Structure 1
Amino acid sequence: MIVGDIMTSEPVCIRENDLMTHARHVLRDNHLHSLPVLDANGRVTGILDDHDVLRLQSNRSGVTVNGYAHEFPLITPDMDVRDAARHLLDSRQHRAPVLNSSTDKSIAGMISDKDIFHNVHLMKLHRKEVSEIMNTKVTTAYNDDNVSRVWGNMLEWKYSGIPVISHDDEPLGIVTRSNLMKAGFIRTGNRSADTHDSLSGDSPKVERVMSTPLYSISSTTSVSKAIEALVDHNIGRICVTDDKHLVGMVDRFSLLRECLDSTCLD
């Protein structure tokens, strides 16, 4: 299986001299998490994702995409999907532009870990439970935390989503970068390093922007079923709960790594 078989063709793109406020609208309106950045000649010069957009602390006009876009791994349509998956993992990126060739920098498409998950042979995966690969040190937010504080922590730690719990430790939902962009809230004020600290000011509460319900699986769920859940719900990470308590989280990187360690991409 090669990249050209599963990549998204004709992706939405932006230009280097486009305004960041425009890029934010394009991401939000097209329900995307990243955009290839093209120069005046149509060559791909970088990729801009929702983390880059959220780094903007205001709606200042005049800030262009150039300078915010970052590097991406070289992936071409004729590359084996296994190699593309390894490039995504090594670069810690969930998606990347696909170039026509190493010399032709024009765009052929986009490849993401979700595209790969849609095409894995789940029956070939190792018989593992998510308890063996999940992250048990999960950063959470309370439903009455201020959006500005959670936003700041997501930026600092480069999290794409944080589970939301009640003060009785009951899982309630999740707040993601997409939630923040769709809500249009701007980061204001100062904060401490503690996610659960309160912040004075007019920042709205997390419960106003979080996604519900919280999709979750148990710790005994198989890795293949976890991948199925991500695909079915079109989400980037899934919480692990036992007896209505959050015990861990499984993200796309850990699941993609399991795919690379098996024959499910062959």
Structure 2
Amino acid sequence: MTVGEVMSKDPVSIREDDYMTHARQVIRDNFLRVLPVVDEGNRVLGVLSDQDVLNIRSSKSNVTVRGYIRETPLITPDMDLLRAARELLDAKQHHAPVVSSSLDRSIVGILSDVDLLRHIQPTKRSPASVEEIMTAKVETAYPDDSISRIWDNMLHWDYTGIPVVSHKKEPMGIVTRIDIIKAGYARIGTANMHGRSSGGSMRVEKVMSTPLYSVAPESSISEAIGEILRNDIGRISVTDGGRLVGIADRHDLLRACLEGTGL
């Protein structure tokens, strides 16, 4: 199967001379992690990371996109999905623009790790369980943590979501960048994020999503992928006896699927 068969067409993009404040609004409005940057001929120059864009604090700025462009892998519609998956993983990107050809960099679509996980299956050499690929050291939040602190941590660590646990370490839910943006609190530098309410800033419990979707440590890679796709989430928590013991994101699972493919 090729990239052209699974990619999304008509991707949102931005010009290199646009202001970063405009790019921030585009990313917020469309809940994007990566925003392709094109020239006047609609040719891909690179991408903007949401981490770079959302870190901008000012509501008004004449800083343009040009100075923040990141390199992106060359992915074309005729590329095999396994090769495209390796390119995405090596670039540490969750989305990448698809260009017409190696000679014509006109943007024709965008490929995501979700597109790949829908069509790539684990191999016989893939790890047998989620426990083998999960990250055991998990950063968590408490329901009474301030949203402003969690938002800053997300951008600093480049996390899209952080599990929420009680002070007894019981899993409760998850707070994601999209949760914060949808709730209207991600207006950096304004009262919406740091505004006072009931003696303190807004709390995580006001915006977190529940339940915390999870699998057991012995669950297969396929089971974990199924949960991620079914619930449209970026990562799956791993729980054992009501205790959070790990987390696996889409890249962890995609990497597991490439085991034994030679890529």
Structure-2-length-normalised TM-score: 0.87
User: What is the identity, as a one-letter code, of the residue corresponding to 1:218?
Assistant: A
Moved more, 118-127 or 79-88: 118-127
Aligned position for 1:20: 20
Give the 3 Å change call, closer, same or farther, for CA 68–175 of structure 1 in structure 2: farther
Deviations 1:92-139 (A, max 9, x none): 111100111122111011111100111124586746111111110001
**Conserved? CA contact 1:14–1:36, under 8 Å:** yes
Moved more, 222-231 or 177-186: 177-186
Matching residue within 218, 224, 230 for 1:232: 230
Partners in 2 of 1:163 and 1:65 — Cα distance? Answer: 32
User: What is the identity, as a one-letter code, of the residue corresponding to 1:219?
Assistant: P
Structure-1-length-normalised TM-score: 0.86
Give the 3 Å change call, closer, same or farther, for CA 121–156 of structure 1 in structure 2: closer
- Report whether the alignment pairs 1:208 with 2:191: no
- Report whether the alignment pairs 1:94 with 2:88: no
Q: Which secondary structure does the structure 2 equivalent of 1:162 belong to?
A: strand
Q: How does 1:1-266 map to 2 (within 5 A)?
A: 1-121=1-121, 126=126, 128-182=128-182, 183-187=184-188, 202-262=200-260
User: What is the identity, as a one-letter code, of the residue corresponding to 1:249?
Assistant: I
Aligned residues: 253
Uncovered stretches (5+) of structure 2, i.e. residues with no partner: 191-198
**Conserved? CA contact 1:24–1:53, under 8 Å:** yes
Q: CA RMSD in A?
A: 2.3
Partners in 2 of 1:203 and 1:37 — Cα distance? Answer: 35
Partners in 1 of 2:53 and 2:202 — Cα distance? Answer: 20
Partners in 1 of 2:31 and 2:158 — Cα distance? Answer: 20
Q: Which secondary structure does the structure 1 equivalent of 2:181 belong to?
A: helix
User: What is the identity, as a one-letter code, of the residue corresponding to 1:178?
Assistant: I
Give the 3 Å change call, closer, same or farther, for CA 121–170 of structure 1 in structure 2: same
**Conserved? CA contact 1:58–1:186, under 8 Å:** no
Q: What is the identity percentage for the equivalent residue pairs of Structure 1 and Structure 2? A: 54
Partners in 2 of 1:247 and 1:21 — Cα distance? Answer: 39
